[in-house]
Amino acid sequence: MMEDLKPLWDAFDRFTLESRELFLSSEVPRIKEAPSPLSFSRDYVASNSPVLIENALDHWPAMRSWSSSYLLKKIGNKEITVAVTPNGYADSVVGDRFVMPEERVMKFAEFLDILEGKSSTENGVFYIQKQNSNFTGEFSELLCEAEADISWATEAFGKAPDAVNFWMGDERAVTSLHKDHYENLFCVISGSKTFTLIPPTDLPNIPYGVYKPAKYKSNSSGKFEILDIADNETGKELIPWACIDPLTPDLEKYPRFGKAQVITCKVHAGEMLYLPSLWFHHVQQSHGCIAVNFWYDMEYDIKYSYFKFLENVSKLLHKSVK
Amino acid sequence: MMEDLKPLWDAFDRFTLESRELFLSSEVPRIKEAPSPLSFSRDYVASNSPVLIENALDHWPAMRSWSSSYLLKKIGNKEITVAVTPNGYADSVVGDRFVMPEERVMKFAEFLDILEGKSSTENGVFYIQKQNSNFTGEFSELLCEAEADISWATEAFGKAPDAVNFWMGDERAVTSLHKDHYENLFCVISGSKTFTLIPPTDLPNIPYGVYKPAKYKSNSSGKFEILDIADNETGKELIPWACIDPLTPDLEKYPRFGKAQVITCKVHAGEMLYLPSLWFHHVQQSHGCIAVNFWYDMEYDIKYSYFKFLENVSKLLHKSVK
């Protein structure tokens, strides 16, 4: 094992410094209209740079029609899948566990009652966040009021999205810091989402742990228990996950996180965020916020390969190589 | 200094292996016609992947008109700049020196006589290779028979080329292994060029040295001497350069070079090679080969930043950090 890692940390620090000077900015740039496929591909996707796009959803009837009363009338009787947690944290670290939400199937009308505080019997935080293309599945009745893809993005990527997801929920629902192997276009229909972003180039500055997979399960008295998931259910033993809250980071324990480039971006109704593949993100929302996101499969090209190299260097730096 | 570099070499070896599995191929792919700006940007530039493009120069009158006799008539009396070396190696390593060619200004007709063996008085290898946009400068009379830019590439890059260069010379003229900070479109008008390519991800496998800058100068008896260039003339002390010939590599001295992905690509008349920024290349040519290349400034984006990180890691691996 390498005895003195300082030269490698120095090389990494030069890299993040240079990345900031060359192509990162302290806030997400805005553009006033949907880009052309070429501009989107060249100016944002190729360089893995986020951008906030205004006025790209104006033609969606959803922008005007999706009120609570309209949705109740349209899909109130539909059965939908809702993630339920005691505190709003789905897919997050609790002690030595990585805890996934309880999934409940209920009528959309019941979910709306809970969200609007009209149901006093339910404990917990409810969030529609099932990322299995639920918009084209469970919510397909609403599809004609939005779109199944973003045409200029589909042309730019040269392929249709792998998944289109519908999101709606409690302001207490928080998505913990993580990254996805997808190019992500996140469209806010009503309310707002606040993204806390960190570029992939900061990977070694982000503390990671490994956790036993578990899930919430409410018992007969309505209290939440944490149940371990058997190995044969997930197919893997331990889950690596970022063990830091970027809003209240413990810099005494993780001083390196203080060097990460943390960018906050609030996305309002009618706006779309291009969140590039492998960017870390933590997400909050206003109460009842409705959003639709499009996941396009990323290219496993030179950028991905470099990121994997950085990941392996990071393991060396943190001396966690097996 | 890190005592045991094996874990870092292992991380690098995994990186090159994964790069080969994911996006590198053992030969340069061919396409049958000029790509659209979007396809060029998305499928090749964004992923830093070379491609050989057929039938993209068919509309250039140069493809039919540029014979020796035609060029002699058109620009025979023009003064042009020619690189002269004793052996065909301009910008190459000789002992502890990095030796640049002698530059001579002569009439194009004189150059043609030498190239065609009609002049018995001249020693050395003559090569028109001045990379200061000589095609739009010294050879501007020929511009109307080709083009000052490649329209679909200019649209894809979102900018005009920084330089357009005209190349013509002896089959003994060789360009030694190096990389450029440019996106390069290399168009062969007559004859052929053979490129030996190595991807930027192989950087630590390529041996480097540092050399004192020098240049060839023929003396009054026609013999070439190597003259040192004073510090104040180049503005820098030592020049780093790859110290290996990829055609006859000394694998006993540099065993790591045996792991590099070496790709050979012969570009024939009428074909265009997209040579992405930071790819290492070594170039040979057929006798009298005529070519024009377009240099578009590269983007200093996340790919460049990752490459600089790899460069700094490579310095650690070779223990050459100052």
Interface confidence (ipTM) of the complex: 0.93
Q: Is the pLDDT assigned to residue A298 strictly greater than 80?
A: yes
Q: Is residue B273 situated within a structural domain? A: yes
Q: If you count residue pairs, one on A and one on B, with CB atoms under 8 Å apart, how many are there? A: 155
Which one-letter amino acid corresponds to residue A285? Q
| Cα–Cα dist A62/A280, whole Å | 29
Q: Is residue B1 situated within a structural domain? A: no
Structure tokens at B266: 């012969």
CA angle centred on B111, ends B109 and B115, rounded to 5°: 115
Q: Is residue B107 situated within a structural domain? A: yes
CB atoms near residue B59 (< 10 Å):
10
* Inter-residue contact A281 to A178 (CB < 8 Å): yes
pLDDT digits (tens, 9 = 90+) for A115-135: 999 987 778 999 999 989 999
Structure tokens at B14: 């995994």
Q: Is residue B178 situated within a structural domain? A: yes
pLDDT digits (tens, 9 = 90+) for A49-93: 999 999 999 999 999 999 999 999 999 999 999 999 999 999 999
Q: Is the pLDDT assigned to residue A3 strictly greater than 80?
A: no
pLDDT category at A322 given cuts 50, 70, 90 is very low
| Cα–Cα dist A172/A163, whole Å | 25
pLDDT category at A321 given cuts 50, 70, 90 is very low
pLDDT digits (tens, 9 = 90+) for A187-199: 999 999 999 999 9
Tokens 């918009």 appear where?
Answer: A135
Residue B62: which of B290, B313, B241, B310 has the closest Cα?
A: B290
Structure tokens at A309: 């190299």
Q: Tell me how many domains chain B contains.
A: 1
In this prediction, residue B119 carries a pLDDT of 83
Q: A134 is in which domain, residue-wise? A: 6-190+204-317
Contacts by residues A20-26 (CB-CB < 8 Å, ≥ 24 positions apart): A20/A261, A22/B300, A22/B301, A22/B304, A22/B305, A23/A47, A23/A49, A23/B300, A23/B301, A23/B302, A23/B305, A24/A199, A24/A201, A24/A261, A25/A263, A26/A261, A26/A263
pLDDT digits (tens, 9 = 90+) for A18-57: 999 999 999 999 999 999 999 999 999 999 999 999 999 9
Residue of A nearest to B321 (CA): A7
Q: Is residue A196 situated within a structural domain? A: no
* Inter-residue contact A46 to B41 (CB < 8 Å): yes
| Cα–Cα dist A260/B131, whole Å | 41
In this prediction, residue B222 carries a pLDDT of 84
Residue of B nearest to A4 (CA): B2
pTM of the model: 0.94
Pairing of strands B30-31, B51-53: parallel
Q: What CATH number is given to the structural domain containing B139?
A: 2.60.120.10
How far away is chain B from the Cα of A211, in angstroms, using its nearest Cα?
24
Q: What is the helix (H) or strand (E) element at residue A310, kind and residue range?
A: helix A302-317
pLDDT category at B173 given cuts 50, 70, 90 is very high
Task: Tell me whether residues B308 and A48 touch, CB distance under 8 A.
Answer: no
Within 8 A of A201 by CB-CB distance, chain B residues are 302, 305-306
Q: Is B158 left (phi over 0), alpha (psi -120 to 50) or beta?
A: left
| Cα–Cα dist B144/B106, whole Å | 23
How would you list the strands of the sheet with B263-268, edge to edge? B89-90, B174-178, B280-285, B192-198, B263-268
Contacts by residues A12-15 (CB-CB < 8 Å, ≥ 24 positions apart): A12/A204, A12/A313, A12/A317, A12/B309, A13/A259, A14/B308, A14/B309, A14/B312, A15/A201, A15/B305, A15/B306, A15/B308, A15/B309, A15/B312
Residue of B nearest to A11 (CA): B312
pLDDT digits (tens, 9 = 90+) for B296-322: 999 999 999 999 999 999 999 997 433
In this prediction, residue B141 carries a pLDDT of 95
pLDDT digits (tens, 9 = 90+) for B265-292: 999 999 999 999 999 999 999 999 999 9
Suggest the residue from B42, B181, B198, B314 to mutate for an interface test with chain A (most A CBs closer than 10 A). Answer: B42
Q: Is residue A1 situated within a structural domain? A: no
Task: Tell me whether residues A301 and B22 touch, CB distance under 8 A.
Answer: yes
Task: Tell me whether residues B300 and A23 touch, CB distance under 8 A.
Answer: yes
Residue B299: which of B3, B45, B123 has the closest Cα?
A: B45
Task: Tell me whether residues A321 and B7 touch, CB distance under 8 A.
Answer: yes
Which one-letter amino acid corresponds to residue B267? V
Pairing of strands B102-107, B97-100: unpaired
CB atoms near residue A97 (< 10 Å):
18
Task: Tell me whether residues B47 and A201 touch, CB distance under 8 A.
Answer: no
Q: Is residue A171 situated within a structural domain? A: yes
**Among candidates B3, B48, B157 on the partner chain, residue whose Cβ is nearest the Cβ of A302:** B48
How far away is chain A from the Cα of B249, in angstroms, using its nearest Cα?
26
Strand ranges (DSSP E) for A141-181?
163-169, 174-178
Within 8 A of B39 by CB-CB distance, chain A residues are 158
